[in-house]
């Protein structure tokens, strides 16, 4: 079940700095000093996603890893996206 606007805005405030809401996505653009660290960040997210059965779209380039969260099955933002975002915050 997708979250209502008010719930999305209040949950967004509970997340770490840098998370942005764009339409049906939560987005985090992390930067690094090299490609290896960007890849390592993506790899560190892997077990969190597997544990939660919820998977981000990741875009990796030199010095950057962009995390996009949405619940494809429901067509928008759900609790699952915020739960994964919080877990990602703990490994930043
Ligand atoms: C069958 C499987 O559990 C589902 O397709 C899950 C897997 N991971 C998922 N991840 C995300 N981000 N959205 C989903 O709707 C989703 N669905």
Domain coordinates of the chain in residue numbers? 5-90
In CATH, the number for domain 5-90 is: 3.30.1360.20
ipTM above 0.90, yes or no: yes
Nearest CA to ligand 1 atom 16: 54
Backbone torsions φ then ψ of 25, nearest 5 degrees: -125, 150
Spatial distance between the Cα atoms of 58 and 11, rounded to a whole number of angstroms: 22
Tens-digit pLDDT profile for residues 43-92: 999 999 999 999 999 999 999 999 999 999 999 999 999 999 999 999 99
Ligand 1 nearest atom to the CA of residue 74, by list position: 15
The finding on whether 54 has its CB within 6 A of some atom of ligand 1 is yes
pLDDT the model gives residue 49? 99
Nearest CA to ligand 1 atom 2: 53
């Amino acid at each position: 079940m997708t979250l209502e606007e008010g719930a999305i805005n209040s949950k967004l405030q509970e997340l770490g700095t840098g998370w942005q809401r764009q339409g049906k996505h939560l987005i985090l653009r992390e930067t690094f000093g090299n490609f290896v660290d960007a890849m390592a960040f993506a790899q560190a997210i892997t077990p969190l996603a597997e544990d939660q059965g919820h998977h981000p779209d990741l875009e990796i380039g030199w010095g950057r890893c962009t995390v996009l969260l949405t619940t494809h099955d429901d067509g928008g933002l759900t609790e699952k996206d915020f739960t994964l975002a919080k877990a990602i915050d703990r490994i930043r």
